[in-house]
């Protein structure tokens, strides 16, 4: 079965059910069609052989704007195991950044977390006094931002900024902090780190700035890092270096990583699990290998089919018409229906449930999960 797979195959235009392969794992058939029962908080973690380092459940974070309520995150859940990477993918504007910001309590107004939990260790980050959360940020969980310049203070040298992080979270003295800052710069591949520690952010190239931001995020060996499009602004040759860097750190410290990106190729190469997000909700999750070889949701399939790959110029790219809906005025029923080649009447009646189809996979599509499930 694995022999003839083509991960980038466009979805067939023909018979709907035939075009949506069911997850093929034989063990899945037993409980595949049953809707997921609501899990009591904490139970899943307790049952898992290895507790996740970060467990986000049913997270909703909305922006209350004058034009209406933008439901940027509308019930999102995922777990990250120790040393593992979860790729959170989707088109721009589907709520990836808002998810990361919400978990860290950094959502800017008019944004607000309206429900959910984000359990790190034993504590829920979303129900923690700001003071405690501030202490955990950087030390236990940190974020690498999309645009490195926004994470850096233009009025401080890179060395001083890293030292400031260390001052907040460690009891190193001044000189030790300065030394550690140089050490960290060296560890993220900044050439001449002692010299670069004295440089201002604007004096560095994009790739170098991103390395500095990563050095800051990793300064205190956090348990989890949320990396929001860490390589999007960089050249491919530098992208590969940054992915190496994140992977090496993970191997060394066992940190869990949420790799937020719109680049499915980066997910294929760097993540263990993937969560595909569309218009504020997850539409498909599972192990990267399974999801990429047998995508179940029409959106996942279309995304995979739309990526140009070197050496496959003759393959027709999948065109996804239209764009992500306005999150303040969502259509009723399936959020993807307006762009879905397989949409039918039933799709517009109610939002499909996110159904456990076995083998660690979940799908939100009435065709992929079978109508029996509803």
Partner 1 sequence: MNGDGFLVDARGLEKRFAIKAGFPRRTVAEVRAVDGVSFEVRRGRTFGLVGESGCGKTTLARTMVGLYRPTAGSLFFDTPADKVELVLELRARIAEAGTARGPAARAELAGLEERLEVLRREYDVYSLPKRKLAAKRREFQLVFQDPWGSLDPRMTVGHIVGEGLVVHGIGGSRAERADLVRETLASCGLDPDAIDRYPHEFSGGQRQRIGIARALALRPKLLVLDEPVSALDVSIRVQILDLLKDIKDAYGLTYVFIAHDLAVVERVADEVGVMYLGKIVERAGRADLFSRRFHPYTRALIDAAPVPDPNVVRRRAPVRGEPPSPIAPPPGCRFHPRCPEAAERCRVEEPPLVQAAPGHYVACWMRPPHRAAPGPGPALPGGRPPSAGATVRAPGA
Ligand X SMILES: Nc1ncnc2c1ncn2[C@@H]1O[C@H](COP(=O)(O)OP(=O)(O)O)[C@@H](O)[C@H]1O
Stretch that binds ligand SF4, among 43-51, 78-86, 249-257, 359-367 (CB under 6 A): 359-367
- Token pair of 18, please? 């035939």
Asked if residues 214 and 190 have their Cβ atoms less than 8 Å apart, the reply is: no
Measured from the CB of residue 321, what is the shortest distance to partner 1 in angstroms? 7
Segment near partner 1 (CB under 8 A); pick from 30-38, 62-70, 241-249, 360-368: 241-249
Q: Token pair for residue 255?
A: 């940190």
Q: Which of 78, 145, 292, 336 binds ligand SF4 (CB under 6 A)?
A: 336
Q: Which is nearer to ligand X, 72 or 320 (CB)?
A: 72
326 contact partners, CB below 8 Å, separation of at least 6: none
Q: What is the DSSP string of 194-206?
A: HHHTTS-GGGS-H
Report whether 45 contacts 55 (CB < 8 A). Answer: yes
Of the two residues 89 and 218, which places its CB atom closer to partner 1 in the complex?
Answer: 89
Give, as ranges, the residues between 82 and 101 that touch partner 1 (CB under 8 A). Answer: 91-92
Which residue lies nearer to ligand SF4 by CB, 8 or 276? Answer: 276
Element (H, E) at 298: helix 298-305
CA neighbor of 361 nearest in space, from 282, 303, 306, 307 = 282
Task: State in angstroms the smallest separation of the CB of 244 from partner 1.
Answer: 5
Minimum separation from the CB atom of position 371 to partner 1 (A)? 27
Residue 366 as a binder of ligand SF4 (CB under 6 A): the answer is: yes
- Measured between alpha carbons, how far is 246 from 171 in angstroms, rounded to an integer? 26
- Only one of the segments 50-58, 132-140, 234-242, 359-367 lies at the binding site for partner 1 (rule: CB under 8 A); that segment is 234-242
Which among 244, 216, 250 is positioned nearest to 231, based on CA atoms?
A: 244
When asked if residue 94 is in the footprint of ligand X (CB under 6 A), the reply is: yes
Q: Check residue 343 and give left, alpha or beta (phi > 0: left; psi -120 to 50: alpha).
A: beta
For residue 84, CA distances in Å to 52, 107, 227 come to 9, 25, 13
Q: d(Cα 88, Cα 99) in Å, to the nearest integer?
A: 10
Q: How far is 274 from 285, CA to CA, in rounded Å? A: 6
Does position 188 bind partner 1 by CB under 8 A? Answer: no
Q: Does 343 bind ligand SF4 (CB under 6 A)?
A: yes
Instruction: Assess 206 for contact with partner 1 (CB under 8 A).
Output: yes
Stretch that binds partner 1, among 128-136, 296-304, 330-338, 343-351 (CB under 8 A): 296-304
Residue 93 binds to ligand SF4 (criterion: CB under 6 A): no
Contact 140, 224 (CB under 8 A): yes
Residue placing its CB nearer to ligand X in the complex, 161 or 210: 210
On whether the CB atoms of residues 203 and 197 are closer than 8 A, the answer is no
Binding of residue 97 to Mg ion (CB under 5 A)? yes
User: Is 278 one of the binding residues for ligand X (CB under 6 A)?
Assistant: no
Given the rule CB under 5 A, which residues bind Mg ion? 97
Given the rule CB under 6 A, which residues bind ligand SF4? 298, 334, 336-337, 340, 342-343, 347, 352, 365-367
Given the rule CB under 6 A, which residues bind ligand X? 63, 65, 70, 72, 90, 92-98, 108, 111, 327
């Amino acid at each position: 079965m694995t022999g003839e797979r083509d991960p980038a195959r466009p979805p067939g235009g023909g018979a709907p059910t035939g075009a949506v392969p069911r997850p093929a794992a034989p063990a899945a058939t037993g409980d595949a069609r049953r809707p997921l029962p609501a899990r009591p908080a904490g139970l899943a973690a307790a049952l898992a052989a290895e507790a996740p380092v970060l467990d986000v459940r049913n997270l909703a974070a909305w922006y209350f704007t004058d034009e209406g309520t933008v439901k940027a995150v509308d019930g999102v859940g995922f777990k990250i195991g120790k040393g593992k990477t979860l790729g959170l993918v989707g088109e721009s504007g589907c709520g990836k950044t808002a998810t990361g910001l919400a978990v860290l309590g950094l959502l800017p107004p008019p944004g607000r977390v309206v429900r959910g939990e984000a359990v790190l260790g034993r504590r829920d980050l979303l129900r923690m006094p700001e003071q405690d959360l501030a202490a955990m940020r950087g030390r236990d969980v940190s974020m690498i931002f999309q645009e490195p310049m926004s994470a850096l203070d233009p009025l401080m040298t890179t060395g001083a900024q890293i030292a400031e992080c260390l001052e907040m979270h460690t009891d190193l003295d001044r000189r030790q902090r300065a030394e550690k800052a140089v050490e960290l710069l060296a560890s993220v591949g900044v050439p001449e780190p002692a010299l670069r520690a004295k440089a201002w952010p604007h004096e560095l190239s994009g790739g170098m700035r991103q390395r500095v931001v990563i050095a800051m995020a990793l300064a205190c060996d956090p348990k989890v890092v949320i990396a929001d499009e860490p390589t999007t602004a960089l050249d491919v040759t530098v992208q590969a270096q940054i992915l190496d860097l994140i992977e090496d750190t993970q191997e060394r410290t066992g940190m869990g990583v949420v790799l937020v990106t719109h680049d499915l190729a980066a997910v294929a190469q760097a993540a263990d699990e993937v969560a595909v997000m569309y218009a504020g909700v997850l539409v498909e999750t599972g192990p990267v290998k399974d999801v990429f070889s047998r995508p179940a949701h029409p959106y996942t399939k279309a995304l995979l089919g739309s990526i140009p790959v070197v050496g496959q110029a003759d393959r027709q790219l999948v065109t996804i018409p239209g764009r992500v809906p306005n999150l303040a005025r969502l259509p009723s029923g399936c959020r993807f229906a307006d762009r879905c080649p397989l949409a039918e009447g039933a799709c517009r009646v109610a939002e499909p449930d996110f159904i456990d189809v076995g083998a660690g996979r979940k799908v939100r599509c009435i065709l992929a999960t079978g109508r029996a499930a509803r």
